[in-house]
């Protein structure tokens, strides 16, 4: 996959692109604090597609949002559409992992005229919260945001130390962690630091309720293939993820053994689960 840069209304967005130039257009959206390299292992096993993996705003080499701006899933939908416009892609498929799958869910519901089909890996819809937790969440987010200015970013003496930190934080193998880390670091005095916007590390100020998430899923018109790892993540138990998938008008659910980054750790199995889905639409 080769790097690309897009100048958009959402700022400069970067990414990695590869595959068949005349293939089905697929826009790939990575997970929280990951970057476009998330899709490098899987890309080698997908055929007949033109795969453009974005660094979402504030991630990888993409621009951070301006001071005072807030990161949100719904807001990122506009950045994704801006990227598609810059690529001159009127219609395209979406491949999302984790947070990227949550963003893809909102995108598919909000702009059905743009999305031909959607593969969601390890998420479907956004993480929800209860009505009676709204004030507490907002207070925590405001306090964290106000305190952010006084925090110092961690500096790693070398890339290997950063790789080991990421392996421990996300239970990743060394090759997978290295892919993400090498694209997610910037050189600073004394070593290396994360390129990710620190604002992305604080609590989300406002989350949808479960009812709102379900309404969005019920209004996704395009075909959707949902791929989950077994065992499930604690924040998305088996019962909930099956209930959400059942709301899709044209949805399919596939469950395979693996961890949260299964598309990187076991790309052959995930590619098999995707199969010819992108090519059938």
Q: If you average pLDDT over every residue of the chain, what do you get?
A: 96
**Residue 61: CB partners within 8 Å, gap ≥ 6?**
3, 14, 35, 55, 183, 195
Q: Among residues of the chain, what percentage have pLDDT more than 70? A: 100
CB-CB neighbours of 141 under 10 Å: 16
pLDDT in tens, 33-84: 999 999 999 999 999 999 999 999 999 999 999 998 999 999 999 999 999 9
CATH code, 2-137+208-280: 3.40.50.1820
Averaged pLDDT for residues 260-268: 98
Q: Could you give phi then psi for residue 275, rounded to 5 degrees? A: 55, -135
pLDDT value of residue 20 = 95
Confidence of residue 172 (pLDDT cuts 50, 70, 90): very high
Please identify which of the residues 10, 98, 193, 195 carries the catalytic annotation: 98
In angstroms, the Cα distances linking 83 to 14, 27, 88 are 9, 9, 9
Q: Which residues pair with 19 in a beta bridge?
A: 50
Which residue ranges make up each domain of the chain? 2-137+208-280
Tokens linked to 222: 């395009």
pLDDT value of residue 152 = 80
Q: Structure pTM?
A: 0.97
Active site residue 105: no
pLDDT in tens, 129-160: 999 999 999 999 999 999 998 788 899 999 99
Say yes or no to pLDDT of 91 above 90.
yes
CA angle 205/208/14 to nearest 5° reads: 70
Which sign does the torsion angle of CA 168, 173, 174, 176 carry?
negative
Averaged pLDDT for residues 259-278: 98
Which sign does the torsion angle of CA 275, 13, 2, 256 carry?
negative
Q: Rounded to whole angstroms, how far apart are CA atoms 135 and 138?
A: 5
């Amino acid at each position: 996959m080769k790097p690309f840069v897009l100048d958009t209304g959402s700022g400069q967005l970067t990414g990695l692109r590869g595959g068949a130039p005349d293939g089905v257009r697929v826009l790939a959206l990575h997970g929280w604090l990951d970057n476009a390299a998330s899709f490098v292992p899987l890309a080698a096993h997908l055929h007949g597609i033109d795969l453009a993996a974005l660094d979402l705003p504030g991630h990888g080499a993409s621009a951070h949002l301006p001071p005072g701006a807030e990161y949100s899933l719904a807001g990122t939908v506009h950045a994704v559409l801006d990227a598609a416009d810059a690529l001159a892609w009127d219609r395209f498929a979406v491949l999302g992992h984790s947070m990227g799958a949550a963003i893809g869910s909102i995108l598919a519901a909000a702009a059905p005229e743009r999305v031909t089909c959607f593969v969601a890996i390890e998420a479907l819809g956004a993480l929800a919260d209860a009505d009676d937790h709204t004030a507490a969440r907002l207070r925590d987010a405001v306090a964290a945001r106000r305190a952010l200015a006084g925090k110092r970013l961690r500096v790693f003496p070398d890339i290997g130390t950063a790789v080991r930190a990421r392996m421990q934080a996300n239970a990743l193998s060394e090759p997978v962690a290295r892919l993400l880390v090498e694209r997610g670091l910037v050189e600073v005095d004394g070593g290396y630091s994360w390129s990710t916007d620190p604002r992305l590390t604080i609590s989300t100020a406002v989350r949808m309720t479960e009812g709102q998430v379900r309404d969005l899923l019920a209004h996704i018109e395009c075909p959707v293939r949902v791929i989950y790892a077994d065992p499930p993540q604690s924040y998305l138990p088996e019962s909930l993820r099956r209930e959400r998938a059942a709301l899709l008008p044209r949805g399919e659910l596939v469950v395979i053994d693996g961890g949260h980054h299964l598309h990187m750790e076991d790309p052959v199995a995930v590619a098999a689960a995707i199969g010819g889905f992108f090519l059938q639409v």
